[in-house]
Chain A
Amino acid sequence: MHFLIFLVAIGVAVAMAIMLARLFAGPTLYDRVLAANSFGTKTVLFLLVFAALVGRQDAIDIALLYALINFVATIAILKFFRYRSLEIALAQMSLRKALDGEYEK
C-alpha cells in the first residue's frame, strides 16, 4: 500500500515536470498561464499524496491554501494582461467600458 502511494507520488511529479517544460516552452502567454494553473493543481495533488505518504496531516492544510491561491493568481494574471492594471475592479471596468461604448464584443 505504502509503495503504491509512493508510485502515485512519482507519477504526479513526472506530470509536474512535463507541465513545467510547457511553462518554459509555451509560445504564447496563454500557454504559460494554462501550464502554471495546471502545475498548481498538480502541486496540490502532490502535497495530498505526500501527506498520506509521510503521515503529516498539516500538508493537507497547505494544499487547501495552495488551491485557493492558485485560482486567485490565475485570475489576477489574466486580469492584468487584459487591462494592464490591477487597480480597478472587474465589474467597474466592464461597466465603464459599456458606458463609453467601447464594449463591443
Chain B
Amino acid sequence: MSAAEIFQHARDVFAIGAMAVGLVFVIAGATGVMRLPDFYTRMHAAGVTDTLGAELIIVGLIAQAGDWQTAAKLALVGLLLFLTSPTATHAIANAAHRSGLKPDLSHFKPKHPADAASSEGPK
C-alpha cells in the first residue's frame, strides 16, 4: 500500500468520524427540542448542539471534498453558520426574556418538609 492510499483511507476515516459525531449532536439537539419541558431548556438544547453539530458535519464534508473550490465554499458556509447561529439564538433568548417569558420551574420546586415526610412515610 502506497503512502497516497494510506492518506486517502485516513482522510475517509476522519471524514466519516467527524460526520458521525456531528450527526449525533444534531439528532440529540432535535430530540432535546422535542422533549424538554419549557422554552429556555429547548433553546439550550437547540442553540448549543446546532453550532457544534453543523461545524463537525461541514468539517467532515471538507475532508472528503474533491477540489479546493468546493472546500473553500464549504469553509465559507461553516464560517457563516459559526457566526450567525449563536447570534440568532442569543437574539431569540433576549426577545423572549424581554417579553416577560418566565422559565417553567414547576418541575424543580422543592417539596415542603411536612409533605415530603407524609408522602414518604409508611402507609
Contact = CB atoms under 8 A, between A and B. Distances in A.
Contacts of A12: 23, 26, 57
A49 B42 CA distance: 26
Interface in A1-27: 1, 4-5, 8, 11-12, 14-16, 18-19, 21-22
> Dominant SS at the B interface?
helix
Contacts of A105: 98
Contacts of B80: 64, 67-68
Interface in A69-97: 70-71, 74-75, 78, 81-82
B26 A52 contact: no
Contacts of B99: 30, 82
Contacts of A35: 33, 46
Contacts of A28: 39, 96, 101
Given A60-B77, A67-B81, A34 B92 contact: yes
Contact of B34 (A22, A33, A45, A57): A22
Q: Size class of A's contact patch? A: 35 or more
A44 B23 CA distance: 14
Given A8-B19, A12-B26, A41-B81, A31 B39 contact: yes
Nearest to A17: B30
Contact of A1 (B20, B64, B84): B64
23 contacts: A5-B19, A8-B20, A11-B23, A12-B57, A30-B92, A33-B92, A34-B42, A37-B88, A37-B89, A38-B29, A38-B33, A42-B30, A44-B54, A45-B26, A45-B57, A48-B61, A57-B70, A67-B77, A67-B80, A68-B80, A68-B84, A70-B84, A70-B88
